[in-house]
Amino acid sequence: MTVRSTFQRIEQFLFYRESDRWVSVLRIGLGLQVICLSLALRKDWTYLLSNGGRALISRDLTEAALNAESSFIPRLGWLIEIGNWLNVPEFVTLWLAWLVLMLAGCLLLVGLFSRIAAIVAWFLYLCVVRSVGYFSYGVDNLTIIGLFYLMIAPLSDRMSLDSIFWHRSSNRDLLPFVRRILQIHLCLIYFFGGVSKLAGIGWWNGTSLWRALTVPPFHFVNPDLVVRWKMFLPATGLAICALELFYPIFIWLRPTRTFWLVSICAMHLMIGLTMGMYLFALIMIVLNTAAFGPGLLRAKNPSLERHVAAHV
C-alpha cells in the first residue's frame, strides 16, 4: 500500500459524504433518554440529591469524595452555592435543575435550540451523576457519552425545528468524522465487555445468565420459567459474549452489519424486558442505531445511495 493511498483511505474513512440522519437519531434518542431518566428520578430526586438528613446518602459526602479526585468535576454543589448566594433554598435549586434538565430533553427531542439544549443537558446530567456518585450505574456514563458526542456533533440536522426556523449546520465535513469516533468508541465498549465476560466461568456454564435473570433487583422473569430452559443458558451466554467480542469486526463488514446491529439491539431489548433495565436498553439502542443504523439501506441499494448523496 502506498503512502498516497493510505492518506486517501484515511480521508475516505473520516471525511466521506454523509447525511445528518445519524445526528437526528442521536438527538431524538438522547432527548427521549433524558426525559425518561428525569421522570424516573423525579420521585427520589431530593431523596438522592439533598444534603444532610433528608438524603439517603448526603450529597456532601459524595462531593467530598469527588473533590478528592478533582476539584474541576462539575457537581450540583456548584449550582446550590449559586442558589444560596441568590438566597434560593436548596430544594428550589434542585427542582429548578430537574426542570431545566427536563426542558433540555424536550428541546432535544424536537430539535429546538439543539446546541444549547445539548450543552445544558450534558452539563446538568453530568452534575447530577457526579453528585449522586455511589448511586450511579452504567446507564449514567453511557448517557453522558451520548450527550458528549451530541454536543460536539454538527447541529442542527434536517429533522430539527432549528433547520425549519433558522438554518442547517454549515460544517458538514464533521458529520462523518464525529460519527466515526462514536463508532470506534462503541467497538471498544463491546470488545472489552466481551473479553471480560469470557474470562468468567459463569458465562461459559450459564450461571451468569441464570443469575442475571433471577437475582433481585433484576428478577423480572419467573425463575421456574428460566429453569425450564436451563439447557440453553450456556449457549445463550456464549452467544452474548460472541456478539460483543466480535462486534468490532462484523459491524464493519457490509454482509454482516445488518445482522450484527439487529442482534445487538435485540440483546439490549431483551435486557430491558427481562431485567427491567429499560433505560440502559434505550441508551444502548440509541447509540448503536445512531452509529451504525443510518446508511444500512443505502449500503444495500446503490441507487438509493446516489439519491441520498444528491440530497445531502
Partner 1 sequence: MPHARKNVDKELAGFSRCGQADPAEVSSAIGFHCAQAQPLRRYRYLIGFALAHLLLVLTVCLRDTFATFALAPTILPTALKPFWNGADAAASFVLGEDLQLGNPARNVVTFYLNAAGIEAGYGFFAPNVPSNYKLVFELHYADSRTEYELPHVADAATAFRLESLLDRISEVSYEPMRQTMFQMLTYPVWQRHPDAISVRAVLGYVIWPSPEQFQRGEKETFEPVYAYDFDLRPSVPSVARP
213 to 232, contacts with partner 1 by CB under 8 A?
214-217, 223, 226-227, 230
CA separation for the pair 11, 245 (Å, rounded): 27
DSSP assignment string, 245-309: HTHHHHTTSHHHHHHHHHHHHHHHHHHHHHH--HHHHHHHHHHHHHHHSTTHHHHH-HHHHHHHH
Half-sphere exposure of 235 toward its Cβ, with a 13 Å CA cutoff? 4
Q: Residues 81, 116, 200, 312: which binds partner 1 (CB under 8 A)?
A: 200
Site string for partner 1, 262-291 (x = CB under 8 A): --------------xxxx------------
**Minimum distance, C-beta of residue 240 to partner 1, in the bound complex (Å):** 9
Q: Residues 35, 94, 124, 132: which binds partner 1 (CB under 8 A)?
A: 132
CA–centroid distance for 304 within its chain: 29
Of residues 21 through 60, those in contact with partner 1 by CB under 8 A are 40-44, 47-48, 53, 55-58
SS3 170: coil
Nearest to 116 by CA among 151, 81, 92, 88: 151
- Amino acid type, 45: W
142 binds partner 1 (CB under 8 A): yes
Whether the CB-CB separation of 155 and 107 falls below 8 Å is answered with no
CA separation for the pair 15, 176 (Å, rounded): 6
116 binds partner 1 (CB under 8 A): no
**Minimum distance, C-beta of residue 211 to partner 1, in the bound complex (Å):** 4
**Minimum distance, C-beta of residue 247 to partner 1, in the bound complex (Å):** 12
Nearest to 123 by CA among 53, 36, 42, 34: 34
Q: How many binding residues for partner 1 (CB under 8 A)?
A: 90
233 binds partner 1 (CB under 8 A): yes
**Minimum distance, C-beta of residue 34 to partner 1, in the bound complex (Å):** 14
Cell of 130: 457526579
2 binds partner 1 (CB under 8 A): yes
Residue placing its CB nearer to partner 1 in the complex, 143 or 163: 143
Residue placing its CB nearer to partner 1 in the complex, 261 or 275: 275
Residue placing its CB nearer to partner 1 in the complex, 163 or 233: 233
Q: CB 114: neighbour CB atoms within 10 A?
A: 25
**Minimum distance, C-beta of residue 212 to partner 1, in the bound complex (Å):** 5
Residue placing its CB nearer to partner 1 in the complex, 109 or 212: 212
- Max CA-CA distance within the chain? 67
SS3 62: helix
Residue placing its CB nearer to partner 1 in the complex, 200 or 300: 200
Q: Residues 26, 109, 120, 126: which binds partner 1 (CB under 8 A)?
A: 126
Of 1-9, 19-27, 250-258, 301-309, which part binds partner 1 (CB under 8 A)? Answer: 1-9
Q: Residues 91, 95, 148, 250: which binds partner 1 (CB under 8 A)?
A: 148
Whether the CB-CB separation of 9 and 157 falls below 8 Å is answered with no
188 binds partner 1 (CB under 8 A): yes
141 binds partner 1 (CB under 8 A): yes
